[in-house]
Amino acid sequence: MFYGFTPASRLMLGTAGYPSPALLRDAIAASGAGIITLSLRREGGEGAGFRDLLRASGCRLLPNTAGCHSAAEAITTARMARELLGTGWIKLEVIGHADSLQPDPFALLEAARVLCAEGFEVFPYMTEDLILGERLVEAGCRVLMPWGAPIGSGQGLRHAEALRAMRAHFPDVPLVIDAGIGAPSQAMRAMEMGFDAVLLNTAVARALDPVGMARAFGQAVEAGRLAHEAGLMPPRDMAVPSTPVLGMARLG
């Protein structure tokens, strides 16, 4: 699904902000996630112990360039991540707006072109911009990660119709909803719309019970995908009786 790798689950989980390493470990296990992300900046602060904890989970590691505000900074961070973690996978983030953490489309594309040319397998964090998506695919990105809403906001799919249009526009490109998911129902909705995976962090890490919330998200993502594959009932303008009128008994 993602650069030739098919994860065990369509839930991707971030690893920042957990109350303790033990809760992080247990939340990853409860979620069933097959891919987990980590910030190189956190990796540098936590050291080998944190890295060993993540590797022991059995999940595929997806390092990210969180906190970068320029193409040059993101490129350098990606190169460091590849050297430190031994993977060409990189979740590419280049932040352009300090308040909304909206990605900078110009710097994102610039960095993606350089990294793809260097053999990285890039997962770009982006808005639901169709033209930007096309340019990123042309640059060599084989996955796109549009946001649902600003990072950590919990607003869910703020521009649902734009995301539907993006799904229709890129039928053969894996699309991952990344950021803004605050409830399992929101993750389920994304999967019902046909997205290939959901990446989230804060909604689990900051929950009163991170392990229970991780389990809830894992089940929601699975249920949403099953519903999409089974074929959802389309909405109708009028009521349609579930019991046929023909053949009903007449009184009097």
State pLDDT tens for residues 142-185: 999 999 999 989 999 999 999 999 999 999 999 999 999 999 99
Sheet holding 35-39, edge to edge: 145-146, 121-126, 89-92, 60-64, 35-39, 11-14, 197-200, 176-178
Neighbouring residues of 96: CB distance < 8 A, sequence distance ≥ 6: 69, 102, 103, 104, 105, 107
> Is residue 180 a known part of a binding site?
yes
Tens-place pLDDT, residues 63-91: 999 999 999 999 999 999 999 999 999 99
pLDDT at 44 over 50: no
What is the structure's pLDDT at 99?
A: 81
Summarised one tens digit per residue, pLDDT across range 92-111 is 999 988 888 899 999 999 99
Residue 129 pLDDT grade (very low, low, confident, very high; cuts 50, 70, 90): very high
Two tokens at 20? 């303790």
Question: For this structure, is 104 an active site residue?
Answer: no
Annotation-wise, does 202 bind a ligand? yes
Rounded Cα distance, 27 and 34, in Å? 12
Q: Is 49 annotated as a binding residue?
A: no
Task: Say if CB 115 and CB 90 are below 8 A apart.
Answer: yes
pLDDT recorded at residue 47: 62
Computed over every residue of the chain, the mean pLDDT equals 92
Q: Which pLDDT score, from 0 to 100, does residue 115 have?
A: 98
35, 40, 85, 91: the catalytic one is 91
Q: Side chain identity at 33, as an amino acid letter?
A: A
pTM of the model: 0.90
